[in-house]
Structure 1
Amino acid sequence: MSIDSSQTARPGEWVDSDGLSPDDASALFRMQIPTDRYTSPDFVSRERAAIWMRVWQIVGRVDELEKTGDFKEYRIFDQSFVMMRGNDGVIRGFVNACRHRGNPLFSGHGHAKQRIVCQYHLWSYDQQGKLRGCSKPEIDKDDYGLLEVPVDTFAGFVFLNPDPDAAPLRDFLGEDVIRILEPYHLDQMTTVLNVREALDCNWKVVMDAFEEGYHVSGIHPQLLRVLVIDPSKVKYRFLDRHSIAVAPFEVAHVEGMGPEKQVEGIMELPETFPGVVRVLPRFTELVDEHRGADGTLQFPEGVTGRTLLQQATRDTLSRDGLDVDGLTDAQMSDNHGWVLFPNFFMTIRAGEATVIMSTPHPDGDPNRCIWHITSFMWLPEEHRGAFAADLIDVQEPGSFKYFEALQQDYEQMPRQQTGLRNARLDHMALVNEEVVIAHYHSVIDRYLGAL
């Protein structure tokens, strides 16, 4: 049954009801961030114990474990875990070590048959992790199954927590996160970009870089031609550990523009936002409905290029089979910037999302990390296979060229890490537009304080 969009409140309406301005939000948090947390080996050790060994973290997509026996290894520091779909359909997580002498059982991503066999002494386990093959009578098989770790799924992502006593994933995310994200149907989206690479910067430098738009003028000047960067229109919401930020998706300098200029600006958006391409045919149809016999374009009150883009997006996605009834008109166009603690940043709007994750480098060097970029699109089923992307694991720094704005961030972050090493620079001074960074580091402080 469809939802009456004129009568039913949608979760995305928080922007108008609960959104905080930059000035109001910045009063809630410390706006000076110590720099030693980016460069100190001791801080790495504290984070490992207080955060990485205790929190839920995204380790893959459900569709990577589609068939019985599919598995994927996940490593954080020197710890190795594996997620595997059993023959009962359940995805489970295990410590990646044989219970006999600790030999690793899995590597990378692949498919296991009915029995998982340790090649050292041939102990074998079933897909539920139970010890099945061991000929020594002194070993009680019921006591020596694989060590299980909590695994759960949400929005098409697989989450793992190294802490066997972790609270449920739903409690960690919170009901608001679940309620606001569910209408996007992320679980139905296809991975269309999937790149992982080591970077010469701390993992938090990556997170910080994508938690504010203040840097757009300096690093991404090309975006100023097509987007408005107006702090007075930005809204924030803080959901305990997590946060959302949203700024209206508008053509630059739209105030005072006539209809033709607004349309021209929107037609330029695909150069920066390729996902807009698929809605332009419907957008053009809607625009033409407002042209007179002589071709003159006039918008009635309440109609703008932005509102027509929103309608075109809703019409196109609905026609192709995506249920967007639970999303607001603004969510048709506006990217919501999500931070899910500890290392997940996502921009999402109807039909598409880009996710950036960063983790500490396995060698523990605070000046290095691994970043992982994935983009998702909702596509009709018949097109999903053609656009699905496999993981690209970049081995040669600089050999993979990201799209323009991401490439600019890629080049900037190691530069910042170089500056953060200067001993006399003892803190960063945040401005109000960087309040998401301040909130994020307040959560880090909370976890470290609870150790």
Structure 2
Amino acid sequence: MTATHPTRPGEWFDTGMGLDDIDAGHFRMDITTDRYTDRDYVQREHDNIWMRVWQVAGRESELPEVGDWKEYRLLEQSFVLIRGRDQRIRGFVNACRHRGNMLCNGKGNAKRGILCQYHLWSYDLEGKLKGVLRQEENDLTALDKEGLGLLPISVECFAGFVFLNPDPDAEPLSDFLGEVVDFLSPYHLDEMDVVLDVREALNCNWKVVMDAFEEGYHISGIHPELLQVVMIDPSTTRYHFFDKHSVSCAPFEVAGKKYGLEEQIEGIMKLPETFPSVTASLPRFQELVAEYRDANGELAFPEGVTPRTVLQTATRETLTGMGFDVSGLTDAQMSDNHGWVLFPNFFMTVRAGEATVILAQPHESGDPNKCYWHIISVMWLPDEYKDALRTDHIEVEEPGSFKYFLALQQDYEQMPRQQIGLRNSRLDHMSLVKEEVVIAHYHSVVDRYLSDAVQ
């Protein structure tokens, strides 16, 4: 008797919209190029997006101990995140209330509180002004000190990520994310460890980075190695649009349309080059595949069984056997990567046991032709592997010196090429095709914020 499960959020894919269900006319499919090259756009985005929205500033695991802090920079703004004695992570403007001196640079620990090195004013972990050099001589009363604490910003955590909003009166993060919270919770991202953490400056606009990961239309041209396992069939892709965010998925299966069974198996065996956590499931995958070979080694699957479904079974059995709860995930989520876009700058591919996040951020110079991308890959690890596989943050100073895994390296090399093209003055807009509807939806949200229509 087959076990039944209550409705799981991942089942959205079974009833999700396909391309035929989407009215592309609902979105603008011509995207103006000045938003990628115009300095005025940088300032408009600064005022109407970056100073108003929730954005990921890192992982909770970066600040494990009381007093641990890190600086988060956004254009010319600097903030500090710090874990308090109550274990809560708080955020403040990174400036002393006395003369505005920057308090924190990089990362560190201030268990006894934050001390300004300029005139030795000190603050506790909750941002309250604790001490002033020669307080009595300078006629500062307790009442004065009460109003001179660090300026707070909004900080909340979800799925192991620290979200920051420069607006101290921001709506709750749960309201900003909405249904996304329920959709992502079954992945247990908060239980995963960081296995890649790299940030690097790129010669392109930050929205070029976002656009690059919002469609699979480019796979044939940029990632041909994935064609053995990713079906480039627009009719099978499914979409779900939220108010500000979106999720889409193209199944990981060729199903014999172009490649035979052995070639599909070979493609799955190469998946760790792009999706490292698949490695743990491959031994079980090979055992299950072997059960379908005859005495001569010929492979034949019965109706309803494909390399994709075998990978799903192997992944569920492997992760469950290692102690990771995947009961809230569908079989499709064992194999298929769901691509999440959280406005304004968060893209994530996620499947059972692992996720890779790409964060795009404007460059502090204000140059629209430059940005940063920040890659954070997380994976569920048994305790005995945590110390060996966890990694520290890498800030790449020499362009091209860090080699990403294959698919990311290919995107890394492509994006600056697009920016060069976008800078041509006669090209006044991009012309999207229907398969790029996620990009169209994303830019509709950008437009709403820039028109100040979002509450």
Match of 2:420 among 418, 421, 443: 418
Tell me the distance in 2 between the aligned counterparts of 1:259 and 1:403: 26
Corresponding residue number in structure 1 for 2:150: 146
Q: What SS is found at the alignment partner of 1:72? A: strand
Percent identity over the alignment? 66
Match of residue 245 from structure 1: 248
- The CA RMSD measured in Å over matched residues stands at 1.7
What corresponds to 1:434 in structure 2?
Answer: 436
Aligned to 1:26: 24
Q: Distance in 2 between matches of 1:223 and 1:138?
A: 66
1:48-101 per-residue CA deviation (whole Å, 9 max, x = no partner) reads 000000000100100111100000111111111111001121111101111111
Q: Distance in 2 between matches of 1:158 and 1:297?
A: 47
- SS class of match (1:75): strand
Please tell me whether the aligned partners of residues 273 and 406 of structure 2 are also in contact (alpha carbons under 8 angstroms).
no
Structure 1 window deviating more from structure 2 (349-358 vs 260-269): it is 260-269
Q: Is the 8 A contact 1:22 1:235 kept in 2?
A: no
Distance 1:424 1:415 in 2: 17
5+ unaligned residues in a row in structure 1: which ranges?
none
Match in the other structure for 1:167? 171
Deviation readout 1:223-248 (Å, 9 max, x if unpaired):
22443211111111111100001000
Q: SS where residue 27 of structure 1 aligns?
A: helix
- For residues 69 and 212 of structure 1, the distance between their equivalents in structure 2, rounded to whole angstroms, comes to 41
Question: What letter matches 2:207 in structure 1?
Answer: K
- Larger mean Cα displacement after TM superposition, 260-269 or 426-435: 260-269
Q: 1:204 aligns to what?
A: 207
1:36 pairs with 34, 37, 59, which one? 34
Report if aligned partners of 2:199, 2:394 keep a CA contact under 8 Å in 1: yes
After superposition, the Cα gap between the structure-2 partners of 1:319 and 1:122, relative to the gap in structure 1 and judged at 3 Å, is same
**Which residue type is aligned with residue 202 of structure 2?**
L
2:353–2:380 Cα contact (<8 Å) kept: yes
1:261-300 correspondence runs (5 A): 261-292=263-294, 295-300=297-302
Structure 1 5/242 Cα, relative in aligned 2: closer, same or farther at 3 Å? farther
Q: Distance in 1 between matches of 2:20 and 2:35?
A: 25
How do 1:43-442 residues align onto structure 2 when only pairs under 5 Å count? 43-134=41-132, 135=135, 136-139=138-141, 140-174=144-178, 176-250=179-253, 252=254, 254-255=256-257, 259-292=261-294, 295-442=297-444
Q: Please list every run of 5 or more consecutive structure 2 residues that lacks an aligned counterpart in the other structure.
A: none
Paired residue total: 446
Distance 1:297 1:423 in 2: 56
Please state whether the residue corresponding to 1:206 is helix, strand or coil: helix
Tell me whether 397-406 or 146-155 shows the greater mean CA deviation: 397-406
Moved over 6 A (4+): none
> What is the letter of the counterpart of residue 210 of structure 1?
F
Q: Deviations over 1:303-340 (max 9, x none)?
A: 22111110000000000011000000000000000000
The one-letter code matched in structure 1 to 2:131 is: G
- CA–CA separation in structure 2 for the residues paired with 1:133 and 1:272: 52
- 1:199 touches 1:371 (CA, 8 Å); kept in 2? yes
Q: How far has the Cα of 1:7 moved from its partner?
A: 3.3
CA distance in 1, matches of 2:42, 2:148: 33
Answer yes or no: is the 8 Å Cα contact 1:46–1:448 preserved in 2: yes
CA deviations on 1:16-71 (whole Å, 9 max, x unpaired) are 12333266152321100000000111111100000000000100100111100000
* Structure 1 contact 22–231 (Cα < 8 Å) conserved: no
TM-score normalized by the length of structure 2: 0.94
Change beyond 3 A, Cα 1:64–1:9? same
| Distance in 2 of aligned mates of 1:75 and 1:137 | 34
